Structure 1
Amino acid sequence: MANPSPVRTETRDVYKDSLPPLWSSTSENTQSSFFSFLCFYSVFILKTKPPTLFSSTPMDMAKRSRTILFCFILISLFLLCSAQSCNNYVFASKKVFSACNDLSYLDSFLHWTYDPSSGTAQIAFRHTGIASPRWVAWAINPEGKGMVGSQALVAFQKSDGTMSVYTSPVTGYRTQLQKGDLSFGVSDLSATYSNNEIVVFATLELPKNTTTVNQVWQNGPVLNDSPGTHDLSGANVQSMTTLNLLSGQSATTGTANSKIRSKYIHGVLNAISWGIMMPLGVVIARYVSVFESADPAWFYLHVTCQTSAYIIGVVGWVTGLVLRNKSPGIQHTAHRTIGILLFSLATLQVLSLRLRPKKDHRYRLYWNIYHRSVGYTVIILSILNVFKGFDILNPDDKWKKAYIGIIAALGIVVACLEVYTWILVVRRKKSSGDENSPNGMKGTVGV
C-alpha cells in the first residue's frame, strides 16, 4: 500500500489575500463571488490545499475528489434554491407581472400587477402538483379573514379535458362553490392546465387605493365534474393570509419562504447524496477496484464518496423531519416510509464497518454478502425515493430530466464497465490460472 502523504497544516492565512469578498457591490457579480467563497472555504473545512491537476498518491486523489464533491454540492444547492422562486417563472402566454408571492401552503403562487389609482389588479394564481382531478380556488375576503364571505375564482379540468373557470361567492362553510357574481368586478377570466399545474388568470376591479387584501386559497377533489369537499385539516385550513398589493408582503411571507426553501434544500441534499453519490460510490467499489493500478486509491474514493453521501443524506433526512413537523395534515406516506428505511439501512451499513472481519476470516464471506445486499437495496430505494420526491416537489421539468440524464449516463458507464471487467478478469484467469470468478475478485461491491 502506498504511504499516505503527510497532512498539510497550513492555516487559513495562507490564502488570505486570495479570498474573494462574500458579496460584491453589484447583483451581477454576487453569485460568482459567493460561489468562489464557498469553494475556498470548502478547502479550509477539509484542511487541504486547492487540488492540483495531477496527484501522485492515493491520499491526494481522495482529498482532491472530496474537495470537488464538496464544492459541487454547495454550488448546486445554491443554484437550485435560488432558481426555485416565483420570480423566475415564465408563463406559456409570455405574460409578465410586476410582483409575485410564494404562498405558504398547498404548493401555490400568486402573481399580480396592481394599479392603485384605478384599483385594477391583473392576477395569475398558480397551483402546482395536481396529479389527479382537483379543483383550485383563490379568493379575496372583503369582510374579514377566513373562508366565509370570500369572493372566489374557481377552476378545474372537466372529464372531457376542457377547463371550467368561474366566480363563486362563499356564503357559508357548507358551500358547493356554485357560480355567482362577486362583490367586485371580474374580467378576462380564464384558466389553463399543463404539467400538473392549474393557472387562473383574471382582472379584478377593486376599490381605488386599496392596499391590503385578505386572501384565501384552496383545493379539493372533483367529483362528476363538480367541486367536492376539501380536506378539513392541515394545510387546507391554514391557507389564508393578508397581502399588501403594493409591497408584496404578507403576514406569513417569512414563514412561507422559509418553508419553501426548506423543501428545496431537502430535495437537493437527498438527490445529490442518496440519488447520485451513493450509486457512484458503488460503481467505484465494484469496477475501479478491478484495476490493480487503482489500489488502494479506489478504497479511499469509495469511503470518501459513501461517507460524504451518508452525512449529507442525514442532513437531508433531518430537514424532512422538520418539514413534517411544519406541515401537519400533509401526508406523503410512501416517501416518508422509504426515507426512514433508507436512513436505517445506511446507518446499519456504517455501524457494520466496525464488525467487518479480516479478509481471511471465515465469516468474511457472509459479511460481504450482507454488505452488498444492503448496499444494492439502498441504491434501488434511493433512486425510487428521489423520483417520488420530484412528484411531491414538482420542480421545473429540467431538474427531473437532468437527474434522469445523470442516472442514465451512470447506467451506461456501468454496462460498459461490466463487460470490460469481465473480459479483463477472464484474461487474467487464463494467464495466471486463477480459478476465482469475476464476482469473487477485486471489483465487487464492498470494502
Structure 2
Amino acid sequence: MVSNTRLVTFLCLFLPIIFSSSTLAQNCNTDTFSNNKLYSTCTSLSGLSATLHWTYYSTNNTVDIAYRIAESTSTWVAWGINPTSTGMVGANAFLAYYDSGSLKIITSQLSSYSITISNGSLSFTVYEMSVDYSNSTSAYTIYATLELPNNSTTLNTVWQRGTTFSSGVPSGHPNTATGAQNTNLNFLSGQSASSGSGSSRLHRENIHGVLNTISWGILLPLGVMIARYVKVFQAMDPAWFYLHITCQCSGYILGVAGWGLGLKLGSESKGITEYSHRNLGISLFVFATLQVFALLLRPHKTNKYRLYWNIYHYTVGYAVILLSIINIFKGFDILNPEKKWKNAYIGVIATLGGVAVILEATTWAIVLKRRSREDKSHHGANGTNGYNGTNSYGTRTQQFA
C-alpha cells in the first residue's frame, strides 16, 4: 500500500508539469505595443509569421486592430479585409513601408492583380490608422480602428509583404506559395480558418474554463463523495481508496493544466487583472497540492496521529471543493459564455448534491445498523452463552473492528 501510494503521489505531482508546460506552449505571441494599448484577442497568421490583435465592440460593430509582422525596412507590408470575396482581388488594404527614410501608411482598394497601388479611401469607414517600426524586433505594426463592412463579424482577411516598389509605392510581391495569404476570421469569437482556433485568446479562455470546470468542479467533488460514501460498503474496500485517489489525481492534473493556462492568460492581459479570480485560483492550487502531499503523510489507521491527519485531510479537502465551486462561477461571470453552459454546470452540481443527500441518509442507516449489530455482539461477549462463557462471535467481532 505504501509503495502504491508513493507512486500515485509521484504521478500526481509530476504529470501536471508536463500538462501545464504543453498548455503554455500553445499560445499566440505575447506582443506589447508602443501605444500601451491592450487587445482582447489575438491570433497567429500562417505563412508569414505575422500576428493579429484586436478588440471588437459589438455596440457599434467597430474593431481596433494591430497587425504585426517582422520584416526589414526595405520591405512593404499589408493587411486588409476583402468584404466581397477571398484573396487579393477586392481587398481593402492598409499598406506600410519606408519611403526615403520616412515611415508611411496608406490605404488602397485592390480591384485587380495588375492594379497600380495608390493612396485612396476604402469601402468601409476607417476612424484611425497609424504605423510604427521597432528596430529592436525589426517589426512593423499597423494600427487601425475601423467599422466592419456589411454589418458582419465574419470576414475574409488578407495579409502580404513584398520588396518591389514603383514610383515609391508598393507594386508587387513574390508569386510563390506565400503569395496569397488569407483566412475567414470571426472577429467576435476569434476563430479563423487558417489558424483553426487554437491560437485565439477566446479559444484558450474556453479551454481554461473547461479544464477547470471538469477538474476542480466535477472530478474533485466526485472523489470526495467516493471517499465518504463508497467506503461504507465493506465489499468496496480497498477499491474505494483507489477510485478516490484516481478521481483526485486526475482532477489535480487537469486542474493544474487549466491553472497554468490561466496564469498565462493573465500575464498576457497587461493592465487587466481579475484579482478575486486569480487569488482564489492560487489558493485553490496551494490547497490541492497540500492534499496530494497528504498521501505521503498518511499514517496507518491505528497510528495515534491518524486523527490529526484526518482533521487536516478533511478540512483542506472541503476547502478545495468550496473554493473551486466559487471560482468556477466567477470564471463564468468573466468569460460570459452562453447561459446553457452555466446552467449545465449548475445541473451537474445539483445532481451531485442530490446524490450526496441520498447517500448520506443511506450510509448513515448502514452505519447505525452495523453499530447496533456490534453492540449486540459485544453484549453477548460480556455474558455467557451456555458454552463455558466463550463468545462464539468474539473472533468475528474483533476482526470487524
Q: TM-score, normalised by structure 1?
A: 0.45
Greater fraction of residues in strand: 2
Q: Which has the higher contact order (CA 8 A, sep 6+)?
A: 2
Name the larger-Rg structure.
2
Q: TM-score, normalised by structure 2?
A: 0.50
